[in-house]
């Protein structure tokens, strides 16, 4: 597969500098600021949330309860990755600005958007934009609802990869673009991304979605974030491998991890690597990371 586009739907821009959370707040709060929409990835908004929380000793809403305090800001558009469970609710309550998750790719353009004030389910990224059609699992023969690989057709879909006809043929079928993303679409039309088709872990014939395992890991005490990937296994074909980021000042309890995870995740063997850093676009391994794993359990 050719390199996938960003989940933001081809949003492009240039920044003169990279600002920390507090510096970004100062820019947003300038008296002459006319920003109406802010674009970013979950890590961007996590930094802003932490900056607001740190004001006035961590009071909800930060300084004087103004949240981000940007006078003209109507919404924060998030793309690139799904936010963690409960993040949107925390961000909106403390930063006082709608958090709008949306989905798209470089090849397909913007596909979904949550409208300000529109109620969306946790983990959903809005409904399909006008003029765009989607299917789950198979272009014109796919389903309007359900779970599977997302296919997209519409004015934003690319003509093809330049000079790469074979790569184009892999992802374009009769005007439908195979995103490679696994999604669920409910009866109301809301779309939620559940993972990547290429990331799906097949353990002994059982499909395991990394995102679902990550959700369990993030609920563990002391875990700030988690990522899961597959690893070859002689008996099961492959098994999940979990990468955990310890919360600030937290020490991960190996015994508690081993006790809790088997009850919440039907995995056999797993490996926890402690010391990963979350970047704006994913996880970067710490050179001094340590790992601990448990053997297969039935």
Flag whether 73 is in a domain.
no
Flag whether 224 is in a domain.
yes
What does the angle CA 268 – CA 272 – CA 276 come to, to the nearest 5 degrees?
145
How many folded domains does the chain comprise? 1
Flag whether 118 is in a domain.
no
Q: How many angstroms separate the CA atoms of 189 and 127, rounded?
A: 6
Q: What is the pLDDT of residue 286?
A: 43
pLDDT by position in tens, the chain (length 298): 333 334 444 443 333 344 556 677 877 887 777 888 888 888 888 888 888 888 755 555 555 567 888 888 888 998 887 777 678 888 999 999 889 888 999 999 999 988 777 777 777 888 999 999 999 987 677 788 888 899 999 999 999 999 999 999 999 998 899 999 989 898 888 898 887 877 778 877 777 878 777 877 777 778 877 788 888 888 778 877 777 877 777 777 767 776 766 554 544 444 444 444 444 444 444 433 333 333 333 3
Q: What is the DSSP letter of 16?
A: S
Distance set, CA 267 to CA 135, 154, 203, 261 (Å): 30, 39, 8, 9
Domain with 229 in it: 200-294
Flag whether 71 is in a domain.
no
SS3 140: helix
Domain containing 267 — which CATH number?
3.30.300.30
pTM score of the predicted model = 0.64
Q: What is the pLDDT of residue 89?
A: 86
What does the angle CA 163 – CA 135 – CA 172 come to, to the nearest 5 degrees?
10
Q: Between the CA atoms of 135, 137, 141 and 145, what dihedral angle is there, to the nearest 10 degrees?
A: -50
Helical residues (DSSP H) of 125-177, grouped into ranges = 165-171
Q: Helices 254-264 and 210-218, interaxial angle, to 10°? A: 130
Q: What is the pLDDT of residue 155?
A: 92
Q: What is the pLDDT of residue 74?
A: 87
Distance set, CA 156 to CA 32, 38, 110, 178, 195 (Å): 35, 22, 7, 13, 22
Residue located via tokens 């004087």? 64
Flag whether 256 is in a domain.
yes
Flag whether 46 is in a domain.
no
Q: What is the pLDDT of residue 67?
A: 86
Flag whether 212 is in a domain.
yes
186 CA to centre of own chain: 19
Contact 220, 261 (CB under 8 A): yes
Counting DSSP H helices and E strands in the chain, the numbers are 6, 18
Q: Classify each residue of 234-258 as buried b or exposed e, where b means 16 or more C-beta atoms within 10 Å of its C-beta.
A: eebebbbbbbbbeeeeeebeeeebe
Q: What is the pLDDT of residue 258?
A: 67
Flag whether 13 is in a domain.
no
Helical residues (DSSP H) of 7-107, grouped into ranges = 21-28, 42-54, 87-95
């Amino acid at each position: 597969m050719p390199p996938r586009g960003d989940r933001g739907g081809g949003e492009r821009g240039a920044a003169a500098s990279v600002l920390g959370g507090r510096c970004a707040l100062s820019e947003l709060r300038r008296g002459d600021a006319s920003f109406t929409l802010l674009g970013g990835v979950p890590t961007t908004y996590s930094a802003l949330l932490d900056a607001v929380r740190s004001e006035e000793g961590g009071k909800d809403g930060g300084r004087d309860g103004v949240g981000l305090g940007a006078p003209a800001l109507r919404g924060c558009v998030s793309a690139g990755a799904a936010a963690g469970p409960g993040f949107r609710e925390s961000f909106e309550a403390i930063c006082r600005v709608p958090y709008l998750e949306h989905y798209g790719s470089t090849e397909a353009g913007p596909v979904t958007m949550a409208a300000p004030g529109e109620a969306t389910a946790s983990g959903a990224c809005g409904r399909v934009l006008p003029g765009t059609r989607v299917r789950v699992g198979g272009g014109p023969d796919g389903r309007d609802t359900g779970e599977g690989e997302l296919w997209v057709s519409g004015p934003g879909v690319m003509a093809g990869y330049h000079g790469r006809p074979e790569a184009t043929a892999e992802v374009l079928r009769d005007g439908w673009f195979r995103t490679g993303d696994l999604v669920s679409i409910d009866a109301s039309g809301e779309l939620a991304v559940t993972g990547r088709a290429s990331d799906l872990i097949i353990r002994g014939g059982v499909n395991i979605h990394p995102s679902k395992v990550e959700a369990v890991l993030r609920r563990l005490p002391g875990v700030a974030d988690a990522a899961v990937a597959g690893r070859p296994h002689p008996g099961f074909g492959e098994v999940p491998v979990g990468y955990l980021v310890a919360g600030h000042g937290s020490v991960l309890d190996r015994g508690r991890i081993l006790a809790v995870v088997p009850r919440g995740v039907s995995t056999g063997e797993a490996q926890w690597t402690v010391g990963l850093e979350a970047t704006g676009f994913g996880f970067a391994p710490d050179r001094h990371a340590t790992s601990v794993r448990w053997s297969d359990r039935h």
